[in-house]
A and B are shown apart, each in its own frame.
Chain A
Amino acid sequence: MNDMQTGRAGYACSYVPVEVILAAGFSPERIIPGGRCADADGYIHPNVCSYVKSMLSDAMAGRFSPLQAVILANSCDAMRKLFDLWNAHVREPAAFFMDIPKKQDAGAEVFFASVLKGLAEGLSRLPGGRSVNGGNLNEAIRQANKIRSVCMGLFDALKNREDGIRGSDVFALIQEGSRLTPSEFGEKADGFLQTHSGKPSPDNGRNVLVTGNILNRPEPISMIEDAHGSISGIDTCFGMRHYTVMVEEDAPDPFEALARRYLSKPQCPRMMGIREQVDYLIQSIKDTKADCVVVSRVKFCDNLGYTIPLFREAAAAAGAGCLAIENDYEWSDAEKARIKIEAFLEMLG
């Protein structure tokens, strides 16, 4: 099935299984919109996440027209409502809505597996789509697992400071990977690891774990490195938690295997279970040997916003400093973030 996909399907959340898209005959493309948020202001309330606004702005301008479909997930209130706005204002591509449970128990897995079957059926009916069966879905699972394995290798190298790998390089690679076919991304990441292998690791001061929701621009990572911080982990929704945990291969029901993996992977703040999210942060601090945590939040993301005070407390309890930086997705106040980052790292010494 290596890149035999004829068309591309966009998706907007790390809970959308790329395996289903691949098996249905499409190449998955993670949407990182670049539309001007203000262009959506006439259609959506100003106090709504700018990532959603940017996506609506791009969609209304027809920038997603080359895609065969876009899968919008029930990630949060704003994304859920984006589906309504999409149906009202966007001519193409058609949007699929994918429900995601907010819980991680067995009942949620059964329900989520049924949702994924529905998504597979919907995608297979699109022009260029094909029926999803155990064979092509298992093949897609293997392909996606391979990417996960390569990416986790990158994150391991980053946290172990093994191969002279810098956070900004890894960030650029995973960002680019979201637009590549799985095999292109796999080759690129392999090549990247080989190029860096054996090079001395830059000892750039304090280890920094970057976490948060969508981080669409490389500047904050570079700012940390410019201020003599070493990125030892990236755990935004493109980062470690997106790639860790494999899907069981050749499971009796691959949809159930997918449901299990996506609901049991480290949680995004959209899930219920704040205690687990806090524990995961503490574990990540230990795993990445981080001296401090930078939490990047797109303004008006309630799921993350409500969690930040607890993250601060947890980081402090784990002996790490914590800085929360807020952005409007366009990073129009990037220099403010730079000052905060510089002051924060300077304060840590």
Chain B
Amino acid sequence: MFKEMLENMTQLMETGLKEKKRFQTMWYKEWFSLFLKAYEPDSKVIYTSIYAFPMELVAAFDAVPFDFELAGALMSTMGQGVPLMTEAEERGYSQDMCSFHRMSLGAFFKEYLPEPDLLTTTSFYCDGKGKTNDILSMLWQKEPFFLDVPHEITKESVRYVENQLQHAARKIEEAAGQKLDMDRLKEAVRSSNRSRRMQLEILDLLKIRPMPMNPRDMIGYSLHGNLFSGGRIKEMLDEQLMQEIREKIAKGISRQENLRIFWFAWLPTYQANVFDTLKSRQVGIPLCETFRVYWDDIDEGNPFEGLALKCLRNPFIGSVDRRITGMDKVVREYGIDGALLFATPACRHSNSTHMLLKDAFTRLGKPFLMLDQDISDPRGYHPEQVRTRLEAFIEVMEAAA
């Protein structure tokens, strides 16, 4: 079912690309076709959490990365979310659990997922992802690999993560049936560094008013784009994105905006009115927290340590201060009028400290909204409630501006 869906979507994107080369179409085409490859009988499939696991390491192999959360998001976009979640719920998985994880488990029970050769994930961002990876490995009867990333950056924690990454490389070698080529890993690191520099340029372009990028694309790509980190495709997508943003700026074809907000955390994967409501009230989203560059260039001479540092610097690890550091500069440079935390109910790690995020924005004299809405379960979605909350928030921002 999911496979057929991917086939159709890939075909659609290929047709679209024949008509016009566009960033969004290229991105989707690469994403869908890569996931589709996971169903090919000869593919070596590595389940991984693309937004957290250092994908540069996976890119050094010929194996196909597959992310069950990202697959769940896609299924939800295609309207398959509820039946899949129900499948898991009927087997005892509580509605308290993250809807992404219920969906991934439901997809397993419905036999929608490709068979993995290895299942890897990380301790960050959340507990649930690691648990789901563990459950799926048990169900597939395959060994999991868990990258445990400590809370603080110390000499010992860097060594701990570095050693685990070397262990992960050995596990991928076994699963992929291929030895790690250090030159290829170094090239993956170089590619990732080039992408990082392009991302910094894009971030600079996003300061321009009105915002020159679709906010949904920005938030989505900031997470899903990592699927290609360490490879030529990511660089190609970044180049295309940058070119389109520059063209938009040059032609002045961007949307109108009166206010600008900073976006925390995730976005709904089903049809919801959040972005339309904001657009209709001319509210722009020039930046989201997951698009910020928090890591330094990775040392290609010491790639395992470099990748360990990239993990350890993730803002969702450690103190909440990491999420709000430099926010005064962001507010100033991007002309931010307020902040919105998209709070999917089971995202304890992101939501628990919502008041501290709010306090940070209050200190800057900017309003903050925590928008409680599930990321992929539309059953509790009430569009009018969302609209009312957003409109009230916009009024507060207008008053404060």
Report which A residues bind B (CB closer than 8 A). Answer: 42-45, 47-49, 74, 76-78, 80-85, 87-88, 97, 99, 101-103, 107-108, 110-111, 114-115, 269-270, 272-275, 278, 299-300, 302-303, 305-310, 312
Contacts and interface: CB of A to CB of B under 8 A. Distances in A.
Contacts of A42: 355
A74 B356 CA distance: 19
Given A44-B355, A77-B352, A312-B92, 15 more contacts: A45-B351, A47-B345, A80-B349, A84-B319, A101-B148, A102-B123, A102-B130, A102-B146, A107-B160, A107-B163, A111-B150, A111-B156, A274-B138, A306-B97, A308-B94
B111 to A, nearest CB: 18
B352 A48 contact: yes
A300 B150 contact: no
Contact of A48 (B92, B167, B321, B348): B348
B42 interface: no
Nearest to A42: B355
Top 10 closest pairs, chain A to chain B, by CB:
A309-B92, A81-B352, A306-B131, A45-B351, A77-B349, A111-B160, A114-B156, A274-B134, A84-B320, A77-B348
B222 interface: no
Nearest to A303: B127
A84 B101 contact: no
Interface centre among A44, A45, A309 (most CB of B within 10 A): A45
A85 B355 CA distance: 9
Nearest to A114: B156
Given A81-B348, A107-B164, A272-B144, A303 B131 contact: yes
A77 B138 contact: no
Contacts of B154: 114
A84 B138 contact: no
Contact of A306 (B135, B164, B353): B135
Contact of A45 (B132, B144, B321, B343): B343
Chain B interface residue bracket vs A: 35 or more
B96 interface: yes
A240 to B, nearest CB: 22
For the residues of A in contact with B, the DSSP-based class is helix
A111 B131 contact: no
Nearest to B136: A274
Given A302-B128, A305-B96, A306-B101, A272 B348 contact: no
11 contacts: A45-B351, A74-B151, A81-B349, A97-B151, A102-B146, A102-B148, A107-B163, A306-B131, A306-B135, A309-B91, A312-B92
A335 B130 CA distance: 34
B119 to A, nearest CB: 11
B126 interface: yes
Contacts of B345: 47
A153 to B, nearest CB: 34
A111 B157 contact: yes
Given A74-B151, A306-B128, A81 B160 contact: no
A278 B135 CA distance: 11
B135 A310 contact: yes
B346 interface: yes
A111 to B, nearest CB: 4
B98 to A, nearest CB: 8
B134 A272 contact: yes
Interface centre among B92, B97, B135, B138 (most CB of A within 10 A): B92
Nearest to B147: A103
B385 to A, nearest CB: 16
Contacts of A88: 356, 359
A88 B359 CA distance: 10
B232 interface: no
Contacts of B101: 306
Contacts of A107: 160, 163-164, 167
A275 B321 CA distance: 36
A77 B320 contact: no
B152 interface: yes
B214 to A, nearest CB: 29
A49 B349 CA distance: 12
